[in-house]
Amino acid sequence: MKRYNPIEIEEKWQKKWDESKLYEVEADSSKQKMYISGMFPYPSGAGLHTGHARSYTIVDSIARFYRQQGKNVLNPIGWDTFGLPAENYAIKTGISPQEATKTNIANFKKQFKRLGISIDWSREINTSNPEYYKWTQWIFRELYKKGLAYRKESY
């Protein structure tokens, strides 16, 4: 009997999943649409930790359940690359925030794929991408104009 080689077997199936675009949302409008997403991770560390694996496995289980029910499930991923976690990691390592987040995202992505998490990678976003944050800035300005965003003394 051939001994189980996890790297060989898992890489084979991960490649097949990628090539077949198994987890991309179908354009089939006859199926009920479902959206599920975990929190977008901060790529502020060199790799995933146990908490990431736990949280994304739960989300993945729910996404898979609904797919098995025949639903058209969108399970996207994004990277929360603005803010103190990314900045602090860059300071700690002496690497620019842009380079640190780019490197960490590549590693996180590789690790998510190795875990077999059913993410639609065609919908991947990055909060530091101008095509993304121009819309968050726009919506904030709209809220501000309508008096729904304002400065106030906190408690």
In tens, the pLDDT along 11-31 reads: 999 999 999 999 999 887 799
- What average pLDDT does this structure show over 70-96? 91
Residue 140 lies in a domain: no
Cβ atoms of 23 and 112 closer than 8 Å: no
Say what the pLDDT of residue 112 is.
95
Say what the pLDDT of residue 85 is.
86
Cβ atoms of 63 and 36 closer than 8 Å: yes
Cβ atoms of 118 and 63 closer than 8 Å: yes
With cut-offs at 50, 70 and 90, classify the pLDDT of residue 32. Answer: very high
Residue 151 lies in a domain: no
50 has which bridge partners? Answer: none
Residue 149 lies in a domain: no
Residue 113 lies in a domain: yes
With cut-offs at 50, 70 and 90, classify the pLDDT of residue 154. Answer: confident
Residue 56 lies in a domain: yes
- CA separation for the pair 85, 45 (Å, rounded): 9
Total domains in the chain come to 1
The pTM assigned to this predicted structure is 0.85
- Are β-strands 125-126 and 78-79 bridged in parallel, bridged antiparallel, or unpaired? parallel
Residue 143 lies in a domain: no
Structure-block tokens of residue 96: 């620019």
Cβ atoms of 126 and 133 closer than 8 Å: no
Which residue range(s) make up the domain with 87?
Answer: 6-129
DSSP summary character for residue 138: H
CATH code of the domain in which 63 resides: 3.40.50.620
Tokens 């898992």, residue located: 10
Residue 44 lies in a domain: yes
